[in-house]
Structure 1
Amino acid sequence: MKFGVFDQNDSSGRSAALQYEERLKLAALYESLGFSHYQMSEHHGTPLSTTPSPSVFLAAMSQRTKTLRFGPLVYLLPVYNPMRLTEEICMLDNLSGGRFEFGVGRGASGFELGYLGVNPSEALERYQEAFEIIRQGLATGRLDYQGKHWSYADVNLSIRPVQSPPPIWYAAGGPDSAAWPARNFFNMVCAGPVERVREVVLRYRSEQASVLDGRASANLFGVNRYIVVAKTDALAREIADRAWQVHHKSFWTLWHRYDSEPRGWKLPPTLDPLIESGFVVIGSPTTVRAEIERQVEISGVNYLSGNFAFGDLSFDEVVDSVSLFAEAVIPALSKR
Structure 2
Amino acid sequence: MEFGLFVQGYVPAARARTDPQAEHNALMEETQYVIQADRSGFKYAWASEHHFLEEYSHLSANDVFLGYLAHATERIHLGSGIFNPLPQVNHPVKVAEKVAMLDHLSGGRFEFGSGRGAGSHEILGFLPGVTDMNHTKEIWEETIAEFPKMWLQDEYPGFKGKHWSLPPRKVLPKPYRGSHPGMWYAAGSPPSYAMAARKGLGVLGFSVQKVSDMEWVVDSYKTAITEAEPIGGYVNDNVMVTSTAICAETTDKARQIAVNGGLNYLQSLLFRYHDTFPRPEGIPEWPELIPEYTEELIDLLIAEEFMICGNPDEVLRQCKRWEQAGADQLCFGLPVGIGYGDTMNTIKLIGEHVIPKIDTDPVHRTTRFREAASA
- Superposed pair shares fold, TM > 0.5: yes
Counterpart CA distance in 2 for 1:314 and 1:11 is 12
Structure 1 residue 304 corresponds to structure 2 residue 323? no
CA deviation vs aligned residue, 1:139-166 (integer Å, no higher than 9, x gap) = 3252511011111111112311115211
The corresponding residue for 2:136 is 123
Q: Indicate if the aligned counterparts of 2:49 and 2:61 stay in contact, CA closer than 8 A.
A: yes
The corresponding residue for 1:320 is 345
User: Unaligned 5+ residue runs, structure 2?
Assistant: 230-234, 284-289, 362-375
The corresponding residue for 1:5 is 5
Counterpart CA distance in 2 for 1:274 and 1:93 is 38
Counterpart CA distance in 2 for 1:134 and 1:274 is 40
Equivalent of 1:30, from 37, 48, 67? 37
The corresponding residue for 1:232 is 250
Q: Please tell me the residue identity of whatever aligns with 1:4.
A: G
Over 3 Å counting, the alpha-carbon distance change for 1:86 and 1:210 in structure 2 is: closer
- Secondary structure of the residue aligned to 1:63 is helix
Query: How many angstroms does 1:17 deviate by?
Result: 2.2
- Secondary structure of the residue aligned to 2:360 is coil
Query: How many angstroms does 1:274 deviate by?
Result: 4.2
Over 3 Å counting, the alpha-carbon distance change for 1:184 and 1:286 in structure 2 is: same
Aligned sequence identity (%): 26
User: Unaligned 5+ residue runs, structure 1?
Assistant: 256-260
CA deviation vs aligned residue, 1:179-211 (integer Å, no higher than 9, x gap) = 222233322232133122122113322222345
Over 3 Å counting, the alpha-carbon distance change for 1:113 and 1:294 in structure 2 is: closer
Q: Please tell me the residue identity of whatever aligns with 2:163.
A: H
Q: Indicate if the aligned counterparts of 1:144 and 1:154 stay in contact, CA closer than 8 A.
A: yes
The corresponding residue for 2:114 is 104
Counterpart CA distance in 1 for 2:226 and 2:360 is 22
Counterpart CA distance in 2 for 1:71 and 1:120 is 30
Query: How many angstroms does 1:36 deviate by?
Result: 0.6
Q: Indicate if the aligned counterparts of 1:83 and 1:133 stay in contact, CA closer than 8 A.
A: no
Equivalent of 1:193, from 195, 201, 210? 210
Counterpart CA distance in 1 for 2:228 and 2:264 is 45
Equivalent of 2:146, from 112, 133, 142? 133
The corresponding residue for 1:173 is 188
Counterpart CA distance in 1 for 2:124 and 2:35 is 35
CA deviation vs aligned residue, 1:230-263 (integer Å, no higher than 9, x gap) = 12222212212332134234334547xxxxx444
Query: How many angstroms does 1:56 deviate by?
Result: 1.4
Over 3 Å counting, the alpha-carbon distance change for 1:95 and 1:189 in structure 2 is: same
* Aligned pairs for 1:47-126 within 5 A: 47-78=55-86, 79-118=89-128, 119-121=130-132, 122-126=135-139
Counterpart CA distance in 1 for 2:125 and 2:204 is 27
- Secondary structure of the residue aligned to 1:116 is coil
Task: Tell me how large the CA RMSD over aligned residues is.
Answer: 2.4
Counterpart CA distance in 2 for 1:124 and 1:295 is 30
Per mean C-alpha deviation after superposition, the further-off stretch among 310-319 and 60-69 is 310-319
- Secondary structure of the residue aligned to 1:164 is coil
Per mean C-alpha deviation after superposition, the further-off stretch among 104-113 and 276-285 is 276-285
- Secondary structure of the residue aligned to 2:226 is helix
Number of aligned positions between the proteins: 325
Equivalent of 1:289, from 288, 300, 316? 316
Per mean C-alpha deviation after superposition, the further-off stretch among 31-40 and 75-84 is 75-84
Structure 1 residue 209 corresponds to structure 2 residue 226? yes
Over 3 Å counting, the alpha-carbon distance change for 1:37 and 1:254 in structure 2 is: closer
Over 3 Å counting, the alpha-carbon distance change for 1:28 and 1:157 in structure 2 is: same
Over 3 Å counting, the alpha-carbon distance change for 1:265 and 1:58 in structure 2 is: farther
The corresponding residue for 2:286 is none
- Secondary structure of the residue aligned to 1:75 is coil
The corresponding residue for 2:51 is 44
Over 3 Å counting, the alpha-carbon distance change for 1:159 and 1:40 in structure 2 is: same
Per mean C-alpha deviation after superposition, the further-off stretch among 114-123 and 77-86 is 114-123
Over 3 Å counting, the alpha-carbon distance change for 1:87 and 1:295 in structure 2 is: closer
Query: How many angstroms does 1:311 deviate by?
Result: 4.2
Counterpart CA distance in 2 for 1:254 and 1:170 is 20
Equivalent of 2:241, from 217, 223, 228? 223
CA deviation vs aligned residue, 1:15-69 (integer Å, no higher than 9, x gap) = 2222222222221211111111001222111121121111111111111112111
Over 3 Å counting, the alpha-carbon distance change for 1:263 and 1:182 in structure 2 is: closer
TM-score by length of 1: 0.87
Counterpart CA distance in 2 for 1:181 and 1:80 is 21
